[in-house]
Amino acid sequence: MHRLVLAMTAIAAISGCAGSAAAQSFPSRPITMIVPFAAGGPTDVIARVIGERMGQSLGQPVVIENVTGAGGTIAAGRVARAAPDGYTLDLATWSTHVVTPVLYQLQYDVFRDFAPVAWLTQTPLLLVSRKDIPANDLQELVAWLKSNPVLLGSAGGTDQVAGYLLQQQTGAKIQVVPYRGLAPAMQDLLAGRIDLLFDQPSDAVPQIRSGTIKGYAVTAGTRAAVAPNIPTVDEAGLPGLHISPWHSLWLPKGTPPAVIAKLNAAAIDALADPAVRKRLGDVGQDIVPRERQTPEALAAYYKSETDKWWPIIKAAGIKAE
């Protein structure tokens, strides 16, 4: 028995040394960041800005791979099944980790199969419409919604919940049109094939400024710095319709803590970089405070978000589109 204990202790020591050595040499090859929506959309922009800067800190490139479909569950499932070695990152959103676990029968568990790395950004949504809708402010839009059938573009998460809240408050009849990301939804809004969209500022603000769409309200209690002329929903007449989607980084459960720490440090470096901060600010992203960028802070915040929103989403009876 004594020899067995010694042998097991030796094996554990060797394994620990091997794990430590692997962490010290990490990363020795490119890292893949899985993005759950189409290239060119808001989430893709954030991934490329942060991933490029993280690569500088890590000494290896961070390669962006867009894996679309099923509200982001295909992308998240791929990360959940990946080797827990730090080389496959999940750029998670409010949609993929708060909404879709309620809407879909998942082959993974959002709490058991992922390890938090860093909370990155958050932003309100903008309620926008095709340019030929005869409404110049939110009250006029609500009046128009009540007397017309409405097509709302949706990437299958945050904007779908926002659409439900809009319908609940106004009594409008809204039909959701699903897309594999907000970029193609915006293209259809520009073409007049859908009526409304809850979009992130990176997509919406340039189009509002050019006059190709109309903007009505920000889904937050304060105006967006990137769109100071657009009122909040509270100011415009739909108080409390607050949704601020966020972006965060996760890894497969079981990834060594030292590897998580290296990736967290690279993310923090990226978020502190003045050039990154400017690029994210230009697309309406608010970087979370430094003390909230830790894995522990992300885990706690995620738990609070699911506690708040899962009952609302379930009660709404929202279905996967």
Domain count along the chain? 2
Per-residue pLDDT tens for 50-70?
999 999 999 999 999 999 888
Task: Kindly state whether residue 23 falls inside one of the protein's structural domains.
Answer: no
Please check whether residues 136 and 195 belong to one and the same domain. yes
Please check whether residues 194 and 212 belong to one and the same domain. yes
Please check whether residues 164 and 105 belong to one and the same domain. no
8 phi and psi, to 5 degrees? -65, -40
Task: Kindly state whether residue 68 falls inside one of the protein's structural domains.
Answer: yes
Q: From CA 42, how far away is CA 192, in angstroms rounded?
A: 21
pLDDT at 15 over 60: no
Please check whether residues 119 and 130 belong to one and the same domain. no
Task: Kindly state whether residue 15 falls inside one of the protein's structural domains.
Answer: no
| Of the candidates 119, 59, 107, 114, the residue with the CA atom closest to the CA atom of residue 255 | 114
In the listed set 236, 259, 288, which residue is the last one of a domain according to the structure?
236
Task: Kindly state whether residue 2 falls inside one of the protein's structural domains.
Answer: no
Please check whether residues 116 and 214 belong to one and the same domain. no
Please check whether residues 132 and 207 belong to one and the same domain. yes
Please check whether residues 159 and 298 belong to one and the same domain. no
pLDDT at 10 over 60: no
pLDDT grade, residue 277 (50/70/90)?
very high
> For the whole prediction, is pTM greater than 0.75?
yes
Please check whether residues 230 and 134 belong to one and the same domain. yes
Please give the residue range of the domain that contains residue 224. Answer: 126-236
Q: What integer is the mean pLDDT of 104-133?
A: 95
Q: State the pLDDT at residue 159.
A: 84
Average pLDDT of the chain to the nearest whole number: 90
321 vs 270: which has the higher pLDDT: 270
pLDDT grade, residue 27 (50/70/90)?
very high
pLDDT at 11 over 70: no
Q: From CA 170, how far away is CA 172, in angstroms rounded?
A: 5
Task: Kindly state whether residue 139 falls inside one of the protein's structural domains.
Answer: yes
Q: State the pLDDT at residue 4.
A: 46
Residues 6+ apart with CB under 8 A from 260: 86, 115, 117, 251, 295
Please check whether residues 119 and 249 belong to one and the same domain. yes
pLDDT at 251 over 80: yes
Q: State the pLDDT at residue 160.
A: 84
CATH number, position 197:
3.40.190.10
Q: State the pLDDT at residue 284.
A: 86
Q: What integer is the mean pLDDT of 134-152?
A: 95
Q: From CA 155, how far away is CA 198, in angstroms rounded?
A: 10
Task: Decide the pairing of beta strands 196-199 and 150-154.
Answer: parallel
Please check whether residues 34 and 114 belong to one and the same domain. yes
CATH number, position 294:
3.40.190.150
Q: What integer is the mean pLDDT of 74-83?
A: 97
Task: Kindly state whether residue 58 falls inside one of the protein's structural domains.
Answer: yes
Q: State the pLDDT at residue 3.
A: 52
Q: What integer is the mean pLDDT of 198-225?
A: 92
Please check whether residues 95 and 193 belong to one and the same domain. no
Q: Which SS3 state, helix, strand or coil, does residue 253 take?
A: coil
Please check whether residues 68 and 162 belong to one and the same domain. no
In the listed set 236, 254, 271, which residue is the last one of a domain according to the structure?
236
pLDDT at 20 over 80: no
Task: Kindly state whether residue 272 falls inside one of the protein's structural domains.
Answer: yes
Q: State the pLDDT at residue 291.
A: 97
Q: State the pLDDT at residue 2.
A: 52
In the listed set 218, 236, 254, which residue is the last one of a domain according to the structure?
236
Q: What integer is the mean pLDDT of 269-291?
A: 95
pLDDT at 96 over 50: yes
Tokens of 255: 């990834």
Task: Kindly state whether residue 49 falls inside one of the protein's structural domains.
Answer: yes
Tokens of 156: 């299958």
Q: State the pLDDT at residue 272.
A: 98
